[in-house]
Amino acid sequence: MTSRRVVVDVPLVITALLLSAYGIAMVYSAGQTDVPTSATHAWASQIRWLIFGLAGAYAVSRASVRFFEWAALPVYLMSLALLALLLVIGTGAGTAASHKSWIGIGGIRLGQPSELAKVTVVLMLARVLAARREPPKSLLDLWQPALVAFLPWLLIMMQPDLGTGLVFIGIFFSMLYWSGVPFPLLVLVASPAVSLILAFNTSLWGAWFLLLLALVLWYKPFMLEGVGLMLANVVMGVVAPVLWERMAPYQRHRLLVFLDPSIDPRRSGWHVIQSQVAIGSGGWLGKGFLMGTQKRLAFLPEQHTDFIFAVLGEELGFIGVTVALMLFLFLLLRAVRVAERANDSFSSLVAMGLASSWLVHIIVNVGMTLNLMPITGIPLPFFSYGGSFMLACWLAIGLLSRISSEGRGARVGELAI
């Protein structure tokens, strides 16, 4: 393989292209309403961003993975700096109007630094984890990767942006798992967070605590760690109500409405009720492309961004939903395959990190349209209208394609450009 030859992971790129085309079609439909909205011309802008994305992906695929490994630390630090800056000068937009997640100069929004942070955290985590000879076996061993993920997570939660925060957690755990951290250890790491949630029901929390105790006794971490962990769980259980009190009212409301949308059918619950009505009324084949009444008559909120999947469900029905989800599943399986066959552990971890980032987006966004997930306002890859996310997704495709081409078995289905 000469250095001039760049190869493309054809199934991966074709799946991504299909998803993008499907997504732009839905963005177009989302703009076709009886009530004029700002989404009318979104599709054209989305096509422009797709072209940028393709160009970017090509550029990325020309660069060696080693370059990214080298660049990981500086870009990571840069994204941390941007996130910190954001807390001072950030602006909000769309459903996330109250978040300080946009950065702009002279009133022109340049993009969301958190999109950048998702990638840099993946690179940095991969670098830190790949540098180890042995996978972390104790809680103490985890301090490095934990710090890498925790710093940006903290900055993002301060915006506050719960959805993106969830993405970082997803990336963190899946990359730890991929690097060989034993499953019980992951459970122990996650346990304080679970305690935090279960603390609202004393008996549930008690059951969880006993379960954890059994796990600690079985897994036998260091004594100090075990005690510390149990202590952390107790502390979490105690502070949960305090945290609840200190939560922003809209966040508290969103969580309550998630548990029961009918408590506020006109306002907060409206989004998810109308989204369910749109999807549910689609039936097998849907109401037809462009014909969704929930969308046309503005019953569906944020129809071209956060709730784009509800438009799909309404207009193309269960069949359309199945096709979209199967494409996503194929994309993720392909990314996992890239991770499996990667040449080195850094590349493999990067592939897994990118896949897990998409997975969290897909599950949270799609789950939200059916009220399976709280409304967090994170976009659906390749579908939701939004330039920087489209670009980020295609850069990730470029990177995956590169990793794939450097990996084992790359000759299968490869295409020389």
Partner 1 sequence: MSFHPNEIARRGRFVSAALAVLFVLLLGAFFRTQIVENSRYALQSEENRLREVPLPAPRGIIYDRHNEVLAENVPGYSVSILSPSADSLRASLQRLAAIIPLSDDAIDVSVRRYRRAPYRPTVVLSDASFDVVSVLEERRIEFPGLIIQSAPKRYYPDGPAVASFMGYVGEITESELAAPQYRGYKTGQQVGKGGLEKEYEDSLRGTEGVRFVEVDARGRVVREAGARQDLLPKPGPPLQTNIDLELQKYMASLFADSLQGGAIALDPRTGGVLALYSAPSFDPNKFIGGIPQDLWKSLNDDPHHPLYNKVIQGRYPPGSTWKLATAAIALESGIATLDDRMPEPCTGGFQFGNRYFKCWNHKGHGDLTLAQAIEQSCDVYFYQLGLKVGLTRLVAGGIRFGGRDRSGIDLPDESRPLFPYADAEEYYDRKYGKRGWSQAVLLNLAIGQGENAQTVANMARFYTALATDGTESRPEIARHKPDRTRVFTLNEDQLAGLRAALAGVVASGTARSAQIQGTVLAGKTGSAQNSQDRTRDHAWFVGFAPADDPKIVVAVLIEFGGHGARAARIASQIIQSYLKVAPTQHINTEG
By the criterion CB under 8 A, which residues form the site for partner 1? 34-35, 129-130, 132-135, 174, 177-180, 274, 276-284, 293-294, 297-299, 313, 317-318, 321-322, 325-326, 328-329, 332-333, 336-337, 339-340, 345, 348-349, 352, 359, 363, 366-367, 370, 372
- Minimum CB separation of residue 38 from partner 1 in Å reads 16
Helices 183-198 + 223-246 axis angle, to 10: 30
Place of tokens 């987006």: 361
The answer to whether 385 and 39 are in contact (CB under 8 A) is yes
- Minimum CB separation of residue 34 from partner 1 in Å reads 5
Q: At 287, which amino acid appears?
A: K
Pairwise CA distance, residues 157 & 103, whole Å: 16
Read off φ and ψ for residue 365, nearest 5 degrees.
Answer: -70, -50
Pairwise CA distance, residues 128 & 135, whole Å: 11
- Minimum CB separation of residue 33 from partner 1 in Å reads 9
Structure-token pair, residue 133: 């000879």
C-beta of 283 vs 413, nearer to partner 1: 283
- Minimum CB separation of residue 363 from partner 1 in Å reads 7
Read off φ and ψ for residue 108, nearest 5 degrees.
Answer: -95, 125
C-beta of 100 vs 304, nearer to partner 1: 304
- Minimum CB separation of residue 232 from partner 1 in Å reads 26
C-beta of 46 vs 384, nearer to partner 1: 384
- Minimum CB separation of residue 47 from partner 1 in Å reads 28
C-beta of 328 vs 383, nearer to partner 1: 328
- What is the number of H-type helices and E-type strands within the chain? 15, 4
The answer to whether 274 and 299 are in contact (CB under 8 A) is yes
C-beta of 181 vs 188, nearer to partner 1: 181
**Cα Dmax for the chain:** 65
Read off φ and ψ for residue 200, nearest 5 degrees.
Answer: -75, -10
3-state secondary structure of 102: strand
The answer to whether 83 and 155 are in contact (CB under 8 A) is yes
- Minimum CB separation of residue 84 from partner 1 in Å reads 30
C-beta of 78 vs 370, nearer to partner 1: 370
C-beta of 205 vs 309, nearer to partner 1: 309
